[in-house]
Structures are given as structure tokens and as C-alpha cells.
């Protein structure tokens, strides 16, 4: 038993309240080392009457470690606990301070979850688990009101550049809501809609006004109301890490220098403001002079931005915020941001843009979720690039699941491309088989899937600006078969609660393998997904408990023989099977 690999700590993703009555415990061990693990738990004030051994299950693994998990529903919402580790006939007890061969005589030196205080429970909005998001880049989605066009507007459908305009606006979104409803979308994430000088609007000039090329606050209100009538939630982009160069306080600093009342609103290293050898004399997003970094630690800056966050929820009725460059803003600002937003709308969704392990932002005091780019990387590596095998993919997903508490994984924002990346079809070099298999995993995995506008009709494009093409509205130029496929994926996800909140378990993911099988289970709702990433037909033989199955894509019936489910899939084939109980 390799005790050096065993790890637990009483916080974060290792020991947390899943809800107001349930505590989840996790423990890490060397992969394949332990054969059984138990949590030894009870109430510290009634130890002898409440102590019990709770079996832990192997809930996920990565390349190096196994992760064991159990849940406890303590009568008085507090828990004292240790662990019993077993490797065949070898038994070791783990306390907070050491490992020992004998059961501890008392609970004093065990780990402790002192109390489930309701205010400390991390509770993301429940509706997000069931949502299907769609990302819209407003300038390129649809031109619904030509009277708002910029002076230099180009004909719709031209080649995008970093600087050109095609006249997309909010009215254009309103005009095409039928498209989203037909697809099955229940949430829209808009990149910025506030006044700015660029086509992407990440250089905010006025946080309290809709960009006049998009419409005005009344137009946005009509859009939000129209979405709500269709059961679609609306998420706006909050660019609070930085402003634009034309933001009034920054203009004041440019004009008045050290005499400006706003000089402390920004991180200025030297006056006058200028750019020397490509680097501004003030902190900015990625050295971009157009985007000076805001000093969110200053009380007046904090107050202004928090008023912005509150205003658009209260007055327009948006359902949450996506937070741009969220990891570069101080943590205390986001704590106050959460308090303000949740006070106005407790069900608002707070989504951070972070491209790496985001555990420090998912402790219940800042964000509800993050844009799940580690998920994106794993899916692309396996389904699109083929740089990892099935085992490597399972390890990547396992590591991701181990990092966060369950409630964070259930509402993670799972995307495969965006305005910041090449489009999925381009990454797949036009291979729609690979695109479909990647999307299948996205829609049958834990978390909230998001489609980047146009992916559902076969749009392609390299990285910025190629990924920001005008939406194609000519039906003759749309891939309607692909649209139908996405629509079917959404319908399948909506029909099975197990695909949204059920347990996740790999059934087959072998070394050097191209076959992937996994199970989602929630009570009697049991779904098994089989995916063949080879161009050659392959046969799956999966150990399952249930006897009768149905292929939800074809309606075919299947039956297990001697506890195994045998299914032959063609090259790049897949099957979604539901148990008939």
C-alpha cells in the first residue's frame, strides 16, 4: 500500500456539503492500489451511538490516481471522520495526523466537518443543469435593423477581418428566435452588447448603454422578454477586468494626467499614458492599449461596476453574467459581485472565463461555473486530433471530475469552440464524423453544453477573425442534416435526466483504444453510450446489469447475453442505449 499517494483534506473538492443535509467525502490513492476504502464517521458529540463504516466507491481515475467517494447524511449536520484503507488483507486507518495499523480509540484526532451552515452551501442555480446554451456574437448573427448600420458596413456574408462591420444587431436575434427554439436552445450567451468602438465590443466605452449599432436598452428588453416567453435564459458578457480606451474615466486620465480624479481607477505605472516598444505605460489586457485594466480594488471602481451588474439584471431582467478574463480580477471583488447579483436574483448564473484548473473560484463564494476549457481540450485531443487514446481521454476526464465538487461539475459550461478559437468543423478538417462524435459526448456528459452559433448548420472558420463569420441564413447553404443531428442530441438529453444529473462511469476506455463506452445512471433511468472513433467497424462487449435495451437513435431492441451487451458499430459509429426496466 503506497501511503505516500494517499491524500485528503477537509475542504474544497475533498470534503464538502452537496446540499443542506449531505456531505461528500473523497480520498485519493495510487491507481489500482487499494481494493476497498471506507469512511469511518459519526457525530463527535455522540460518537459511540453514531459511528459507522461507510463504503466508498471508486468514482473516477486519472493516469496516476484513483479517487474514492462516499456521501453521509449526518443527523445533526456535522461529522467527525477518518478512513479505513484496504489492499487485499492489509488494513490501515487514516486520521487527520497519521496512518496507523489499529482503529483509533476515540475520534479526537480524526478529520472534521464541523457543521453544514446553510449559508456556506455552494448552490448553483438548478435550472442550469437542464439548459442548452447557444453563443451569439451579435455583430455577426443577423442584421435586423439596417438603420443602425455603421457608416462603413459591408454586405452580409463577406470575409471577416479584425476591424470590419456587417451590421449584426439585437433585432436580428429577435427575428431568428424561431431557429433557436426549433433547435431546442434554452439559454443564450451574448458576447458584449455595450457601447464600444470594435466589432467584438470587449473595449467597453459605456457600461450603462447598449451599443447604438445593436439597438438600445428598449431593444434589449424586448429581446430578453421574447426569449423568456420561449423559455430561453439570457446571459450577458461582463468585461470588468478592463475597459476600453474611450471609457470616460480613462479619457479623463489621458487628458489631465496626474490631475485626473480617475487616475487610480487604473494600474498606471508612468505618466503620461503612452505605448513604449509595444507595451503601454499602464496595465492592460494582453498589452492591448485599447483595453486598460481596471483597478477593481478601488472602492469607487468597485461600486461603479457592481451597480452595472445589478442594473442590467434588475431593469432588463437578464439571467446572469459571463465574466471576461475572470482570473485576472481580485477574488474579493468577485465575492462582492456574487453577493450583489444573488441579492437581486438568487437564480442568476455566474459564469467565469477561466482556461485552466479553476478550483479557487468554485468554492461557493464567487462563481457558479467556469467555461470548461480543460473539457474542450480533452474532447478535441481524442475525438478530433487523435493525439490521445481512449484510456488517455478517460484519464483526462477523470482528472477533471476530481477537481471540483459535484455541484460545480453539474453546471460546468462545456463548449467545443467559441469566438476565441477555430470552429469545431475546421479543427476536424471538415470531417463531420469527428464533429458528430465530439458533440455526442458533449451532450451526454455532465455539465451544460453550449453550441457556438452556426456550428449546427456546418459553418467553419479558423481562429479570430475566421471564427467570427456572418451567420448563414440561406437554407440552401445550411447543412440541414447536421442541424437535425444537433436537434436530436438535444431531444435525447432532455428526455433522460440521467444525462444531466446522473452518475458517470466509463465502461470501456482501453490503452491504444478507439472504443469508448460509458454509463449515465439516475435511479431507473440508465443510459449507455458507445462510440467508435475508428474508420473500421468494431464490436463492443460491455458488462451491464440490465437485460433489455433500446437504441434511442434507431428504435432497435437489444438483449444482454450472459451479462454482456454485444453491439457492432460501423466506422465512426455510435449508439445511445437506454435500459428498459
Share of the chain above pLDDT 70, in %: 100
List, for residues 72-90, the tens digit of each pLDDT value: 999 999 999 999 999 999 9
Question: DSSP letter string over 15-80?
Answer: EEESSSS-EEEEEEEETTT-SEEEEEEE-TTSHHHH-EEEE-EEEEE-SSEEEEEEEE--TTS-EE
Per annotation, catalytic residue among 353, 455, 508, 525: 353
- Which CATH code for domain 242-293? 3.90.400.10
List, for residues 320-337, the tens digit of each pLDDT value: 999 999 999 999 999 999
Q: Which residues, 6 or more positions from 218, have their beta carbon under 8 angstroms from its beta carbon? A: none
Q: Are 138 and 169 in contact (CB under 8 A)?
A: yes
Domain topology for 126-241+296-495: TIM Barrel (3.20.20)
Q: Which pLDDT does position 581 carry in this prediction? A: 87
Averaged over 62-77, what is the pLDDT?
Answer: 97
* pLDDT exceeds cutoff 90 at 430: yes
* pLDDT exceeds cutoff 90 at 574: yes
Per annotation, catalytic residue among 69, 205, 211, 324: 324
Domain boundaries defined on the chain? 3-120, 126-241+296-495, 242-293, 498-580
* Mean of the per-residue pLDDT values of the chain: 97
Nearest alpha-carbon partner for 185 in 456, 407, 441, 423: 456
Q: Do domains 3-120 and 498-580 have the same CATH topology?
A: yes
List, for residues 33-54, the tens digit of each pLDDT value: 999 999 999 999 999 999 999 9
Averaged over 531-545, what is the pLDDT?
Answer: 96
Q: Which pLDDT does position 231 carry in this prediction? A: 98
Q: What's the grid cell of residue 34?
A: 487499494
List, for residues 206-247, the tens digit of each pLDDT value: 999 999 999 999 999 999 999 999 999 999 999 999 999 999
* pLDDT exceeds cutoff 90 at 562: no
Task: With H, G, I as helix, E, B as strand and everything else as coil, classify residue 205.
Answer: strand
* pLDDT exceeds cutoff 90 at 306: yes
Is 300 annotated in the active site?
no
Q: Which pLDDT does position 489 carry in this prediction? A: 98
Averaged over 339-345, what is the pLDDT?
Answer: 98
Q: Say which DSSP state 561 is in.
A: B
* pLDDT exceeds cutoff 90 at 4: yes
* pLDDT exceeds cutoff 90 at 469: yes
Cis amide linkage into residue 405, ω under 30° from 0: no
List, for residues 101-154, the tens digit of each pLDDT value: 999 988 999 999 999 999 999 999 999 999 999 999 999 999 999 999 999 999
pTM over 0.75: yes
Residue 469 CB neighbour total at 10 angstroms? 20
List, for residues 411-424, the tens digit of each pLDDT value: 999 999 999 999 99
Nearest alpha-carbon partner for 200 in 232, 247, 234, 237: 237
- The second-level CATH assignment, the architecture, of 3-120 is Sandwich (2.60)
- The second-level CATH assignment, the architecture, of 498-580 is Sandwich (2.60)
Q: Which pLDDT does position 514 carry in this prediction? A: 95
Averaged over 556-566, what is the pLDDT?
Answer: 93
With 0-12 / 13-18 / 19 or more C-beta atoms within 10 angstroms meaning exposed / middle / buried, residue 226 is: middle
Is 545 annotated in the active site?
no
Q: Which pLDDT does position 510 carry in this prediction? A: 87
Amino acid at each position: 500500500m503506497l501511503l505516500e499517494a494517499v491524500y485528503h483534506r477537509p475542504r474544497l473538492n475533498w470534503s464538502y456539503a452537496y446540499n443542506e443535509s449531505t456531505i461528500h467525502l473523497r480520498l485519493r490513492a495510487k491507481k489500482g492500489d487499494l481494493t476497498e476504502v471506507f469512511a469511518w464517521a459519526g457525530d463527535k458529540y455522540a460518537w459511540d451511538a453514531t459511528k459507522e463504516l461507510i463504503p466508498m466507491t471508486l468514482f473516477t481515475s486519472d493516469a496516476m490516481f484513483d479517487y474514492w467517494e462516499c456521501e453521509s447524511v449526518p443527523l445533526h449536520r456535522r461529522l467527525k471522520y477518518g478512513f479505513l484503507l484496504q489492499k487485499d488483507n492489509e488494513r490501515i486507518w487514516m486520521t487527520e495526523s497519521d496512518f496507523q495499523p489499529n482503529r483509533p480509540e476515540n475520534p479526537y484526532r480524526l478529520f472534521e466537518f464541523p457543521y453544514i451552515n446553510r449559508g456556506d452551501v455552494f448552490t448553483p442555480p438548478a435550472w442550469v443543469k437542464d439548459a442548452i446554451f447557444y453563443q451569439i456574437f451579435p455583430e455577426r448573427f443577423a442584421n435586423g435593423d439596417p438603420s443602425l448600420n455603421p457608416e462603413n458596413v459591408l454586405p452580409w456574408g463577406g470575409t471577416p477581418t479584425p476591424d470590419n462591420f456587417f451590421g449584426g444587431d439585437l433585432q436580428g436575434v429577435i427575428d431568428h428566435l424561431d431557429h433557436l427554439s426549433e433547435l431546442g436552445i434554452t439559454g443564450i450567451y451574448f458576447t458584449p452588447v455595450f457601447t464600444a468602438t470594435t466589432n467584438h465590443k470587449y473595449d467597453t466605452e459605456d457600461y450603462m448603454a447598449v451599443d447604438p449599432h445593436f439597438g438600445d436598452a428598449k431593444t434589449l428588453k424586448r429581446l430578453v422578454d421574447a426569449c423568456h416567453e420561449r423559455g430561453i435564459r439570457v446571459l450577458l458578457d461582463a468585461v470588468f477586468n478592463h475597459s476600453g480606451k474611450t471609457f470616460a474615466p480613462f479619457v479623463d486620465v489621458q487628458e489631465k494626467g496626474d490631475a485626473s480624479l480617475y487616475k487610480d481607477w487604473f494600474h498606471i505605472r508612468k505618466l503620461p499614458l503612452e505605448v513604449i516598444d509595444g507595451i503601454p505605460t499602464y496595465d492592460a489586457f494582453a498589452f492591448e492599449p485599447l483595453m486598460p485594466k481596471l483597478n477593481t480594488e478601488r472602492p469607487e471602481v468597485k461600486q461603479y461596476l457592481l451597480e452595472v451588474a445589478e442594473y442590467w439584471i434588475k431593469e432588463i431582467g437578464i439571467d446572469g453574467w459571463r465574466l471576461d478574463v475572470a482570473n485576472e480580477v481580485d477574488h474579493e471583488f468577485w465575492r462582492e459581485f456574487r453577493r450583489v447579483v444573488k441579492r437581486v436574483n438568487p437564480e442568476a448564473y455566474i459564469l467565469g472565463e477561466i482556461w485552466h484548473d479553476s478550483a479557487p473560484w468554485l468554492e461557493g463564494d464567487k462563481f457558479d461555473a467556469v467555461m470548461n476549457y480543460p473539457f474542450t481540450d480533452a474532447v478535441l485531443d481524442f475525438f478530433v486530433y487523435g493525439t490521445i487514446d481512449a484510456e488517455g481521454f478517460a484519464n483526462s476526464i477523470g482528472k477533471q471530475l476530481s477537481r471540483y465538487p459535484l455541484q460545480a461539475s453539474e453546471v460546468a459550461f462545456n463548449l467545443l469552440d467559441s469566438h476565441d478559437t477555430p470552429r469545431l468543423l475546421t479543427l476536424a478538417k471538415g470531417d463531420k464524423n469527428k464533429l458528430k462524435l465530439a458533440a455526442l459526448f458533449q451532450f451526454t456528459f455532465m455539465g451544460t453544453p453550449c453550441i457556438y452559433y452556426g456550428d449546427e448548420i456546418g459553418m467553419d472558420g479558423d481562429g479570430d477573425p475566421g471564427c467570427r463569420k456572418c451567420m448563414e441564413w440561406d437554407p440552401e447553404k445550411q447543412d440541414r442534416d447536421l442541424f437535425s443531428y444537433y436537434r436530436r442530441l438535444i431531444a435525447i438529453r432532455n428526455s433522460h435526466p440521467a444525462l444531466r444529473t446522473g452518475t458517470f462511469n466509463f465502461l470501456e476506455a482501453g490503452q491504444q483504444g478507439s472504443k469508448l463506452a460509458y454509463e449515465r445512471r439516475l435511479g431507473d433511468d440508465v443510459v449507455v453510450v458507445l462510440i467508435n472513433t475508428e474508420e473500421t467497424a468494431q464490436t463492443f462487449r460491455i458488462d451491464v446489469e440490465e437485460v433489455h435495451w433500446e437504441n434511442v437513435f434507431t428504435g432497435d431492441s437489444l438483449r444482454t447475453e450472459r451479462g454482456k451487451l454485444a453491439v457492432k458499430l460501423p466506422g465512426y459509429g455510435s449508439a445511445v442505449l437506454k435500459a428498459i426496466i
